[in-house]
């Protein structure tokens, strides 16, 4: 084997870490500045997000308060309308169950009266029984 290419290969292998270290140094400085810049941007965006979240909560609560006020007003208006309608209509004398009882009693009374008038005299009844 030849000594020349081997020694040259060995020298190149020994010098390669130094060349990589020199190239990595400028990259690490720029990467470090990029990291700090990105961290600053992250902080700014988090602050902005918090501010927007607070604004959203404020607008939601304002909207809910406005809607709650409208619903209360409508509820009061409907209660007044109900009271007015109840005051204008007379109260019922009979409940539904009592009404059906009166109708049934009237039908029974009419049926009994019709039976009495149709039956005629007592003689016919005695003749029919015999």
- In tens, the pLDDT along 65-109 reads 999 999 999 999 999 999 998 888 777 788 889 999 999 999 999
Percent of the chain with pLDDT over 70: 79
Residues 6+ apart with CB under 8 A from 119: 125
For residue 63, pLDDT over 70 is answered with yes
pLDDT attached to residue 81 = 94
Measured CA distances, 79 to 40, 70, 72, 83 (Å): 58, 14, 11, 6
CB 94 within 8 A of CB 102: yes
pLDDT digits (tens, 9 = 90+) for 68-79: 999 999 999 999
Percent of the chain with pLDDT over 90: 46
CB 119 within 8 A of CB 125: yes
Which of 23, 4, 26 lies closest to 12, judged by CA? 4
pLDDT attached to residue 18 = 64
pLDDT digits (tens, 9 = 90+) for 116-127: 888 765 555 556
């Amino acid at each position: 084997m030849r000594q020349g290419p081997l020694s040259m290969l060995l020298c190149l292998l020994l010098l390669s870490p130094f060349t990589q270290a020199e190239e990595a140094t400028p990259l690490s400085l720029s990467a470090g500045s990029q990291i700090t810049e990105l961290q600053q941007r992250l902080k700014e965006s988090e602050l902005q997000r918090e501010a927007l979240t607070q604004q959203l909560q404020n607008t939601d609560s304002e909207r809910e308060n406005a809607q709650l006020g409208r619903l209360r007003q409508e509820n009061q208006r409907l209660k007044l309308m109900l009271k007015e309608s109840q005051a204008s209509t007379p109260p019922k004398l009979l409940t539904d169950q009592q009404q059906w009882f009166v109708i049934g009693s009237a039908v029974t009374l009419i049926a009994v009266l019709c039976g009495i008038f149709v039956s005629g005299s007592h003689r016919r009844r005695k003749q029919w029984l015999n």
